[in-house]
Amino acid sequence: MTLLALLGRDRDPARDPVPVAAHFDHGTRGAESAGDGRFVEAVARRWGVEARLGRGRAPERASRSGEGPMAAARVLRYRFLARVAREVGAVAIVTAQHRDDRVETVLQRLARGASPDGLAGPAPIEIFQGSALLRPLLPFSRRAIAEWAQANGVPFRDDPSNRDPRYSRTRVREELLPILTALNPRADRAIVRLASLAAVDAAFLGERAEELLESATVQRAGRAWRLEAEALAEAPSALLSRAVLRAWAACAARDTPSPGAEWVAGAMRFVRGGRGGKITGPGGVTLRRRGPWLEVRGERGERKDGDG
């Protein structure tokens, strides 16, 4: 609600763009979460802001896809935001993630053995499905935002799922972070610094991986990509792994969860093996060696997922 207050209630009509509030019900708390949507709609109306409400079934998606419940919810939520952005012709999608969210995300990914790209956490600015995605509250802590909201009369609703120990993010917040803070009272700032350094390294390596793919490209059309296998095989692992992931992402079915480290390592061995054959990956992607070429190809057609 703080973000809505800043962009809607407190905007300068002569200078600031007109926002549209978008709220997504993940289908995890029944009537209570539906009440959240009505609350957002009522407050937005009071502040002269149009509200768009969406609903999905995150538990069902998680069961089908093998994703965790939070990851499934995020996919549905961001798909909804992108659709609303297209419908209203928005110049950007703006979300309310803050510094504590970034800290918790980095710790979750660290526990899973993420790469530097993953340890960077959410970025202040990125492109998502053709729209700019902005996170202006990322430098501020949860406490600072709550204090500002209270001082400035911003209404809110409590979300009990934020305290539910079934979710790993809750356990990171309630159990792990207090231990780290006892070891270092500025642990949160240290984690943000780690994320910022990882983001710089990831951006540099990502650019080099794009250059590698461009130089190795023989032909590209739709969800099919033919590359010079030897050019990829000779690349350093830090670049080859990112090139493999980018080629996979370009050919995979929409909303497919990213492949794990084990699959990426196997794909790298396949590229460097120098033999024919093929391997398959998530999202209907096939990697095939044909003579000097590596062909990365997705299944024909797009997977048509609904919002649940």
Residues 88 and 13 in one domain: yes
Band of pLDDT at residue 71, cut at 50, 70 and 90: confident
Residues 229 and 177 in one domain: no
Residues 77 and 139 in one domain: yes
Is 302 part of any domain? Answer: no
Output the pLDDT for position 12.
93
CATH number for the domain harbouring residue 274: 1.20.59.20
Residues 43 and 169 in one domain: yes
Average pLDDT on 190-195 reads 96
Is 192 part of any domain? Answer: no
Residues 25 and 138 in one domain: yes
Band of pLDDT at residue 305, cut at 50, 70 and 90: very low
Is residue 306 pLDDT above 50, yes or no?
A: no
Residue ranges of alpha helices (H) inside 121-256 are 142-151, 168-171, 177-183, 187-216, 229-233, 237-251
At 79-114, the pLDDT tens digits run: 999 999 999 999 999 999 999 999 999 999 999 888
Task: Specify the amino acid at residue 231.
Answer: A
Residues 173 and 138 in one domain: yes
Q: Which of 157-161, 236-240, 294-298 has the lowest mean pLDDT?
A: 157-161
Average pLDDT over the chain reads 92
Is 125 part of any domain? Answer: yes
Residues 215 and 130 in one domain: no
Which residues span the domain enclosing 246?
Answer: 205-297
CB burial of residue 58 (10 Å; 0-12, 13-18, 19+): buried
Residues in the chain: 308
Is 85 part of any domain? Answer: yes
Output the pLDDT for position 63.
87
CATH number for the domain harbouring residue 100: 3.40.50.620
Is residue 303 pLDDT above 80, yes or no?
A: no
Is 246 part of any domain? Answer: yes
More confident residue, 71 or 293: 293
The number of distinct structural domains making up the chain is 2
Residues 33 and 82 in one domain: yes
Q: What is the pTM of this model?
A: 0.86
Dihedral (CA of 154, 158, 163, 168) sign? negative
Is 155 part of any domain? Answer: yes
SS3 content of the chain, % helix, strand, coil (to 5): 55, 15, 30
Residues 140 and 25 in one domain: yes
Is 140 part of any domain? Answer: yes
Is 200 part of any domain? Answer: no
Residues 176 and 273 in one domain: no
Is residue 308 pLDDT above 70, yes or no?
A: no
Residues 62 and 110 in one domain: yes
Residues 122 and 85 in one domain: yes
Closest CA to 42 of 53, 32, 27, 31: 53
